[in-house]
Amino acid sequence: MKCKIVLNNDFKIGDVDPRIYSGFIEHLGRAVYEGIYEPGHPEADEEGFRSDVINLVRELDMPLTRYPGGNFVSGYNWEDGVGPRDSRPVRLDLAWKALEPNSFGTNEFMNWCKKARTSPIMAVNLGTRGPAEAQALVEYCNHPGGTHWSDLRHSHGWQKPHDVKLWCLGNEMDGPWQTGHKTAVEYGRVAAESAKMMRWTDPSIELVACGSSHPGMPEFGQWEATVLEHTYDLVDYMSIHRYYGNQNDQTPGFLAMSDEMDRFIKNTVAACDFARAKLKKKKRIMLSFDEWNVWFHSHGSNANSPDWSFARPILEDVYTMEDALLVGSLLITLMNNADRVKIACLAQTVNVIAPIMTRKGGGAWRQTIFYPFSLSSANGRGTVLRQSVESPSYETVFGTATDGKPEKLEGVPYLTSSAVIDPKSGETTLFAVNRSLDKELELTVELQNIEATKILGWSVLHNSNLKAVNTESVEAVKPCEVSGAALRKGKLTLKLSPASWNMIRLGA
């Protein structure tokens, strides 16, 4: 099958915000305890942080990490997680039916971020709490001193402000599963008052309002419009979340879900721009896709983990080669929406639906989805070019991990791709996924007004067994460097293997 891409340096989508390669750590399962924090582990440092995990997070190069939730934050009292550990209370975590010892909290997270070379996105509890508690946390984190909450931080051993610049106004407040679930009007009002008080405390911060938990929510679109009626002048981003699964083992449909993500993004942008027009505003609301991933392998596994236990091993998806193909495709979709998606958080980072897995007392390893993320993060920064793409297509049916409802898709291209030019190095990087399970794609790329005379590298992620997984001892899915591409007179030609993720780097 033959495909063609035409690229021209004069036609651009926008600049990639590096924050689209961010992560997420929630007090959920073994993400914190036995994940990033395990005192007594052979690799633990003086603060109890696993250095092997820190090294892998650094490899992912995540500019931001969202914390502490997620569903957890909607019932969380942040004051429980600061001060002397021996005086911190043990609580019932209603979101995940676990015991929360609070031995890891805000200040520990800030220290971990510095070591992992990431920066915090803090979420405030607008489920069971409200504006006063949200303002207090901003004061605790960001005010220099001389007030109750900032001096309390001093007394806990942190003299300098944490200077957290990005804050989420709650989490998935449209969801009935959420502690303190609210209607759009109820949430819009509490978000507006919280945002106002938080900004009065620190005018330099940016704020993210809760959008729809997924596009199948009954009020999707109307929720965004209503929330923005109350918050438009006070917030910078609207959040959206989406998870994907192949529970029906229909791989062609599963691999098409990046197209569904694109549609979700564009529909949310339309809702935000409707509010902009209705309210006669100048600024545009950008998107924070602050939860996304493949999530379905672990469905039903919670029954094997006792309720109200510590560090319950739940939501531990073991990812396959085909999962890595979709994650690579989803990253391509995020790049191709660089004009409006400015933040995105892979959910999550360690153990819980994560690229990094650990064994208590043992090793840490890279899951299959680690590689498309790490290579995209390292090479997918710059200006995204608008593409003209010709590709054969197929018809399929898919159902998502969120709602499982089958939907027919027509005209799904076998090729999905993005192209990014690094303005500093001048390098052009092409990301491409062949979604055909059994046929090569003969790809031609015409490079118009682009300085590219040599191929710097071609990385491929491929395993003929689409169910292949990585374990602590065996890495069955990892990228390899291949040859066989040709670049002559502004035309790149190469063959993409069936069911493969590809990254081709070009230089002058």
Residue of 26, 100, 139, 172 marked catalytic? 172
Taking the C-alpha atoms of residue 358 and residue 32, their distance in angstroms, rounded to an integer, is: 11
For residue 169, the Cα-to-chain-centroid distance in whole angstroms is 17
How many C-beta atoms surround the C-beta of residue 54 within 10 A? 19
Q: Is 291 a catalytic residue?
A: yes
8 Å CB contact between 295 and 401: yes
8 Å CB contact between 294 and 331: no
Angle 323-326-329 from CA coordinates, rounded to 5°:
150
Taking the C-alpha atoms of residue 447 and residue 507, their distance in angstroms, rounded to an integer, is: 12
Number of residues written out for the chain: 508
* DSSP string covering 405-449: --EEEEEEESEEEEEEE-TTT--EEEEEEE--SS--EEEEEEEES
Type and span of the H or E element at 326 = helix 321-335
Residue of 291, 316, 322, 427 marked catalytic? 291
How many C-beta atoms surround the C-beta of residue 154 within 10 A? 13
Q: Is 446 a catalytic residue?
A: no
Long-range contacts (CB closer than 8 Å, 24 or more residues apart) made by 259-266: 259/333, 259/409, 259/412, 259/416, 260/398, 260/400, 260/409, 261/292, 261/330, 261/333, 262/333, 262/336, 262/337, 263/215, 264/214, 264/215, 264/240, 265/240, 265/289, 265/333, 265/337, 265/340, 265/341, 266/337
Active site residue ranges: 172, 291
